[in-house]
């Protein structure tokens, strides 16, 4: 979730709590090589569909955290990370990303 102003940041922070720390499995993953200006510092980054273990196995989408290469079937945990570049006097734009906790295990 992007936070372009303090009020939006406040509203979105309530949403983070629903998934923060949750674990899940990657359903689909793609590596983005071209993105919008605010996301250029992260390129290339992964974008994922994730099925959470809890919350009735709700499916969410999120960016993958830096330093990981994601594949279908990987186990992940939702963490709070910087999700966009910003000017030095802006709010630091934090949001949910996925961190890999284990590789896909084929049966």
Partner 1 sequence: MTKVKIIGQSITRFGELWDRSLESLFEQAIWESLISIDGPVYQKQIELRKYGVTTQIPRFDVRQVEAVFVANMSAQAFTGQSHLGALVSQMLPHNPPAIRVEGACASGGLALVAAQQALLSGQYKTVLVVGAEKMTDVSATQTTKILSGASEYQSEYGSTFPALYSLLAQAHMDAFGTTRNQLSMVSSKNHAHAVENPKAQFRKKISADVVGRSALIADPIRLLDCSPVSDGASAVVLSTKNIKRYQGKPVIAGFGHAQDTLNLADRKSLTELEATKKAGQIAYRAAGIKPKDIKFAEVHDCFTIAEILASEDLGFFTKGSGGTAAEQGQTTYGGKIVINPSGGLKACGHPVGATGVKQLAYVASKLQEVQKKRVYALTHNVGGSGATAVVHIVRNGIYEK
Q: Does 79 bind partner 1 (CB under 8 A)?
A: no
Start-end of H helices in the chain: 6-19
Chain centroid to CA 57: 17
Residue 61 interacting with partner 1 (CB under 8 A)? yes
Q: How far apart are CB 8 and partner 1 at their closest, in Å?
A: 9
Residue 25 within binding range of partner 1, rule CB under 8 A: no
Of residues 7, 34, 87, 105, which one binds partner 1 by CB under 8 A?
A: 34
Cβ neighbours of residue 16 under 8 Å, at least 6 residues apart?
A: 1, 80, 95, 96
Binding site for partner 1 (CB under 8 A): 1-2, 12, 15, 28-40, 45, 47, 49, 59-63, 72, 83, 95
């Amino acid at each position: 979730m992007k936070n372009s102003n303090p009020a939006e940041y406040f509203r979105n922070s309530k949403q983070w709590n629903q998934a923060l720390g949750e674990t899940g499995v990657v359903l689909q993953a793609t590596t983005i090589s071209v993105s919008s200006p605010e996301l250029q510092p992260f390129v290339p980054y992964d974008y994922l569909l994730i099925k959470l273990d809890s919350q009735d196995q709700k499916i969410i989408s999120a960016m993958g955290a830096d330093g990981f290469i994601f594949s279908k079937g990987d186990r992940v945990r939702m963490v709070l990370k910087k999700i966009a570049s910003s000017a030095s006097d802006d709010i630091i734009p934090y949001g949910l990303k996925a961190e890999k906790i284990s590789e896909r295990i084929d049966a």
